[in-house]
Structure formats: structure tokens, C-alpha cells
Structure 1
Amino acid sequence: MKFFWIILSFFLFPSLFYGQEGFQYYSKKKKITIPFKLINNLVFVPLEVNGVDLTFLVDSGVEESILFSLEDKEELTFNNVEKIMLRGLGSSDYIEGLKSSGNQVVFNDAIIDQNHEIYIILDEELNFSGSVGIPVNGIIGYQFFKNFKVEIDYVSHKIHIYNPSHELKRKKMSKFKKLDFLLHNNKPYLASLFEFDSQKVEGKLLLDIGNSDAFWLFANKISNYTFPKQSFEDFLGKGFNGDIFGKRTKLGSFSFDDFTFKNPYVAIPDSTSLQNVKWAENRIGSMGGEIFKRFTLIFDYQNSNLYVKKNKNYKQPFEYNMSGIEINHAGLQWIQEEESLNTNFVTRDKTSYESSFRGSEKVKYKFVLKPIFVIAHIRKNSPADLSGLKKDDIVVRINGYGIERYSLQEVNALLKSQDGKKINFEIDRGNRRMKFTFYLKSIL
């Protein structure tokens, strides 16, 4: 286990750090490009905080920058720290945190904020690295967008931040559809007349690229629409104050402006999970990454515009996890494997250690670094639940292959793949190795 230290400093940075507002563009280039990882429809970018390399989720649904995990970092200094209490989605009350100002945050050596305010979550349980399979240290939202035109290309997995002293070419912009949005508490909302299954509903949707689902809809805010009866209770995610539960269902269609989506799945959070939400007037829900990945986006916060252009993902079918289990990446471990001995050799690399022994047994022992995949949640009466799988089971093989063959994203894709598909799990439960079989089943 690697320990880390957070050094809380109350000394001020030099005055240079306080002369600018937000991120500044330190380059003569017309645009700065930042590669990102796209996992579960979410955008993860590299950045530096006070000289330390971190990974943050880009989330238009949050106002402040939040840091909550430093498990793989040895040292990070924060400045001008004060204790605060925070609230967010989830069913619990306030949680303890810290507020720090005067921090330097850098993207690609060219986009720099020398007086960045960061909220630090102290609860070690609030860490969604396990649910996406990579170390994630925090979230950045409004501050990332507010000073520039920011393009998100979901096909090339690149973000382009445009030089504010240059105008984007008309030829480029002519390929995009312009949508106006409203900023409330520094979060973008699309106000429109939406169409659910041919029924018109007026309201606002939060444009939330930090939400992996297509839509979250708030049933208690939509009085003139009856949701489909076919639905199921599910774990929807994790908020600052705890787990978020609700229902999932499927609409026949969802339309706004010139765009129509056939058979999208929607999540309906329960009222307990929404008790801490600061409601924008007439807000009826959120639009998330499952929709945005079907477009190339250009956010222009200064003019309250979102430009969208369809990409090759636009007509992809909507999917959901039919197994009923949520799997988390719980770290790595060295596993000893026994193989027949063909030659005598010793090899070392970053992920394995092999040693061979002469003698009558003729056995080779290979130590392999493998991921630990754990069942974090299981839906009652789901195919996986009915097969006998349980929360906290450690998955060691899927469909006959060792778990090291899969990334967490590939496992999640498999569990959404095809109605009726046979899935074989081999798991460790305590000191027992057990096998289970279930079939994916669509209930929507």
C-alpha cells in the first residue's frame, strides 16, 4: 500500500497568482489539444495541480473543482485551507471537506489558472476510480469552460481549447447546429419544448457531460406525462452524500430541436436522492454522455451557446446493463500460476515474474499482476442475482477467460451486449472458488 500526504499550507502565493481570473491561454497557437480517455461515456483528462500530475473528470454539471482521491500520489500541497461542509446528490446529510485557494492548475503547459479554488472531499469512500477502472482524482467543471470555446470530439477522443484572440472559421461553424443555453449557478441548461413519445413537455434539462446515462428525468417535476409502466429499480450511481437509486425505463422516442432519438433508456432518480438538489426553475432532468457521445460539441459559455454536429455514433442503439450487477476495479494483485515446464528460464517485466525449477516435477511458477474485479452492487431478481452471485464476490474468470484479459469497460460492454447471451462467471467467495451461469435478459 502506498501512503500519501496532504500538506496544508496557509502561506500565500506571490501576487502574480492573484492578478488573473480563471484559466488563461499562454500560447500563440490557434488551439490547444488535450487527449482524453472516454470510459462509460465520461471524459477524463490529464492535468497538473501544484506540479503533481492528476486525472480529472470533465463535468459540466458541477460549478466548483473537486478533489477526492490521492491514493496513488505521494505528496500534494494545498494552500489557504479552511474547513467546510458539503452537500450533493445522495440520501445522507452534510459531509466534511476543505476549501483551498491559490492553487495552480495546468493543462498541456498552456492553459493555466494560477489562483484555482479547489474543494477537497475527506471521505475516502467517495472515490469512483473503481467504477471506471482508472485512477481518478477529481472533477472539473465550470472553470474549465468559462473563458474559452471548448470543443469535445468524442470520436478522436480529443478536446480542443481555442485561442480567445482568434475567431473560429465560418466554414467550420457552418457544419454545426447552434443551440442556446441558460446558465444557472454556472451550469448550462437547455430550455425547450421536448417531446416524449409524441407528448410535448416544456422545461429545462441540465447539459451534464459528467452523467454517463442518456437522460435523467424527474418524475415529480413532469406533471403532464405518464412514464411507461415497464421499469425496474436500479442503482444509478454515487453522489457526494451516498448511493443514488431509482428506476430505469425506456421511451419510444425523445426529441428536441431537429434531433430525435429512438428507444432511449432513461433513469428516474428517487425523491430521497434529490433532496439536496438546488433546483433551477422548470428543470425536469438532465441530458448526459450517452447522448453527447453522438455529437461533436463546442461549448461557448461566454455567449451561452452550444454547437453540435452529428458524428458516426449518432445512430448507435441505446443499451443498458442487462445482468443486474455493477463491477468495480478494486486494484491489482500478484497471482501465482502453475504451468508445465518446457524450458529453463527466468524473465522479469512490469507485470510478471517467472521462475523454473529442475527436478521430477518439471513445473514453472509464473507470478502475474492481475486486476481485482469485485461485484459492488447486484439488482434483486436480476439474472445475476437469480444465478446465485452476491455482492463482494471477486470475479476471476468470465466466459472461460482470465479476468486480466478484460478492461472494466470491456466487461461492462459484455453485460450490455445481447439479449439471451450466455455469461459464465468464476468467482472467489471467501476461500471458495465457485462457478455461475446466467443469461442476459432485457426487461424493457
Structure 2
Amino acid sequence: TDLVAYLARRIRFDIPDKVSAPREDILVLQEDYFRFEEYAGIDVHGILSANAFSKYIIRINYDRRIITLYDRESFKIREDGYEPIPIEVYRNKIYMNSRFYLRPDSIAPIKLLIDTGAGLPLLMFSNTHPLVHPPDNAITTNIGMGLGGYLEGFTGRVFQLDLGKFSEKNIVTYFQTLDSTMNEEYLHGRNGLIGNTLLGRFSVIFDYQNSTMWLKPARNFRNEFVYDRSGLIVIATGPGFGKFVVQGVIDNSPAAEADIRKGDEIKRIGIAPAAFLSLGDVQRIFQKKPGKKVKIIIKRDGKRMKKRIVLRDLI
């Protein structure tokens, strides 16, 4: 698929009274190829690169949903509870070395991209290391949006990932097989990436110039990694992203057993009209405990239908 974009030079970006990026070169896509809004359920007008922030010390507080930028001269880290982790900064992207445990007896040394724009815990490229591959109980699912459409891969749970002295266990992990023609310089030897769902278990500080990332466990550090228990892949469309459409149904899942199909529109979940819910609300409902019965009303070919899903673990 060809991607057409235009280069706009020396564009000024301002976060009023906060940050100014006076001379940025930006790419303007001819079309919305990636349709981030459908997966995020909010308007996404573009992506700011690290180039606008790398001169600062950056603290991300996921609990409070605040990004704080500090001048290097005035910043002093309170090291209590923080673990410094060496990082590599290459083309304004952050990489770290880690250890990946598919099982307790299967340990792979790996390199990971730190991606604060990825809404998942861990994505691994299964053809980059002999010990990096989906577990036996992994399921086929969509893992994101690419130029050619939705990207298909696998999802399963892995035993452990080490982040410095910290370890996360039983992680929901997505697996993708890379195209053999992908540019090796672009990949920079990485075996996968860490996204926000895992980073959000820490208070995170990035120091680009000193090649250091600091991690401090947050309150949710030991919480279970939850995953959808319905088998539905739902996207948000329409004005205000208040229309929820089934983009896919996992085979042999509760949703498949309830005869819910791709293209069905979700009109109501329980007593709540879909118009009163966000995409995040919908996803959280379908992540509730196994055995939970979820009544929904769908619209298919102009007809409304009542369905009942009994949630269960899929991975």
C-alpha cells in the first residue's frame, strides 16, 4: 500500500505557557490511513515526536494523567524507590535491554522499544529470537491498524518480563510476525515494544541526554493484567465516537457462541444505552470476572436483537 504524505517545514507548536517547539518539520498524511480514533475512541489529530520534548527531563504520572517537563538545570530526582535503567536513544526513540520469560525455564535476552503511544502491555516480534513465540494457548486476534488494514497476530500470557530489578508476571502479550522486507535499520535490532498498559504500572522519568529511564512502582504494580473475556473486538465510530461496531469476533468465544457477528452495532449493554458509554467503558465491561452475564442489544440489518454473553477467560 502506498502512503502519500506532504512535508510541512518549520511549523510552530505551542502548549500555551508550557512548551514551544518553534521550528518543527511535520508530515501531513493525505488520508487517515491508520484510523487511530476507532481504537482510542477519541479524536486524534496527530502525533508529537520526542524531538519536541527530549531537551527536558520528562516525568509521566499515569495515576494522575499528568506529563511534567523539567528544565535540566533545576531538576533533582528523589531517588527513593526509583530504579535507574540504562536506555539507548536512537533517532529519538528509546530502547532498553530486558529478559523475556515465555516460561520459567525459557529466558531470552531481548531489546525493546519504549513506546508511550502504544495502548497495550507488551508486543513481541515472534521471528526475531528462537525463544520469542506465542504460548501454546494463544488466540488469534487483531493487534492494531496498519497501512493494509487490521494487523492480525496472536495474544497470550507470558511468564515474566524483567525491567531492571522489577519483574512483571503473567503479562498479556501480543505477538506479530514481522515482514521479512522490513527495514533493519528502522527496527534497530528490537524484539518488540513495551506500551502504556505496562508502563502505567510505574511512575516513569525519561532523561534522554543521560540515557537513563527511572521507574518507581505505582499502586497498581501488582494488579492482574486483564484481557477481554467476551471475544469481541469493538471499534468506535460516528459523531463523538458514540457508535460501537463489532469489528471482529474471536472463534469459539462467548460472543461467537451468542451469534454476535462482525458489523453488528452495539445499542445497549445492560441498562446503559451505548450513547452513554465510552469505548473504554465498553472494554471494561467485557473484562469483568469470569462467569459474569452481560446482556446486550445489537442492531443487524436494521433489526434489534437481544444477546447474552457469559464471560470467561480466553487466555
TM-score of the two chains, using structure 1 as the length reference: 0.66
Q: Distance in 1 between matches of 2:238 and 2:76?
A: 46
Superposed displacement of residue 378, structure 1: 2.3
Change (3 A) 1:113 1:383: same
> 1: distance between equivalents of 2:310 and 2:122?
27
Q: Go from structure 1 to structure 2 and tell me whether the alpha carbon gap of 1:311 and 1:102 turns closer, same or farther (over 3 Å shift).
A: same
Q: Structure 2: how far apart are the matches of 1:434 and 1:392? A: 13
Instruction: Say if 2:10 is the partner of 1:139.
Output: no
Distance in 2 of aligned mates of 1:184 and 1:277: 15
Matched, 1:297 2:204: yes
Q: Deviations over 1:341-369 (max 9, x none)?
A: xxxxxxxxxxxxxxxxxxxxxxxxxxxxx
2:10 corresponds to which of 96, 99, 102: 102
Question: What RMSD, in angstroms, separates the aligned Cα atoms of the two structures?
Answer: 2.1
Conserved? CA contact 1:192–1:203, under 8 Å: yes
Distance 1:240 1:151 in 2: 32
Change (3 A) 1:396 1:206: same
Matched, 1:122 2:30: yes
Residue of structure 2 equivalent to 1:26: none
Aligned partners of 2:172, 2:112: CA distance in 1, in Å? 16
Shift, 1:429, TM fit: 1.5
Where structure 1 has 5 or more consecutive residues not aligned to the other structure, the ranges are 1-92, 334-369
Q: Deviations over 1:140-162 (max 9, x none)?
A: 22213321111100011111000
Total equivalences in the alignment: 313
Mark the CA change 1:117 to 1:430 in structure 2 (over 3 Å): closer, same or farther.
same
Rounded to whole Å, the distance in 2 between the matches of 1:325 and 1:371 is 17
CA distance in 2 between partners of 1:259 and 1:277 (Å) = 32
State the partner residue of 1:389. Answer: 260
Question: Which amino acid letter does the alignment assign opposite residue 209 of structure 2?
Answer: Q
Q: State the partner residue of 1:169.
A: 76
Cα separation, 2, equivalents of 1:324 and 1:125:
26
Residue 291 of structure 2 corresponds to 420
The DSSP-based 3-state class of the residue aligned with 2:255 is helix
Aligned to 1:250, the other structure's residue is in SS state strand
1:82 maps to none
Report the more deviating stretch, 213-222 or 228-237.
Answer: 213-222
Match of 1:288 in 2: 195
Determine helix, strand or coil for the equivalent of 1:95: coil
Quote the offset at 1:227 in angstroms. Answer: 4.5
Alignment of 1:404 onto 2:275 = yes
- Any unmatched runs of 5+ in structure 2? none
Q: Retained in 2: the 8 A contact 1:250–1:263? A: yes
2 CA distance for matches of 1:379 and 1:147?
Answer: 44
Question: For residues 223-302 of structure 1, what are the structure 2 equivalents within 5 Å?
Answer: 223-224=130-131, 227-272=134-179, 275-276=181-182, 278=184, 279-302=186-209
- Verify the 8 A CA contact 2:100 2:162 in the aligned structure 1: yes
**Cα distance, 1:220–1:402 mapped onto 2, change above 3 Å:** same
Letter in 2 for 1:303: N
Shift of 1:126: 2.8
Superposed displacement of residue 183, structure 1: 1.8
- Corresponding position: 1:201 with 2:108: yes
Is 1:156 aligned to 2:64, yes or no?
yes
Match among 181, 186, 199 for residue 87 of structure 2: 181
Q: Greater CA deviation, 232-241 or 278-287?
A: 278-287
Structure 1 pair 292–225 and aligned structure 2 pair: CA distance change class (3 A):
closer
d(CA) in 1 for partners of 2:42, 2:56? 28
CA contact (8 A) 2:98 2:162 kept: no
Distance 2:161 2:139 in 1: 20
Alpha-carbon distance in structure 2 between the residues aligned to 1:127 and 1:225: 29
Question: Can you list the C-alpha shifts for 1:381-415, whole angstroms capped at 9, x where unaligned?
Answer: 32212311122212111113211332211110111
| Percent of pairs with identical residues | 24
Higher radius of gyration, 1 or 2: 1
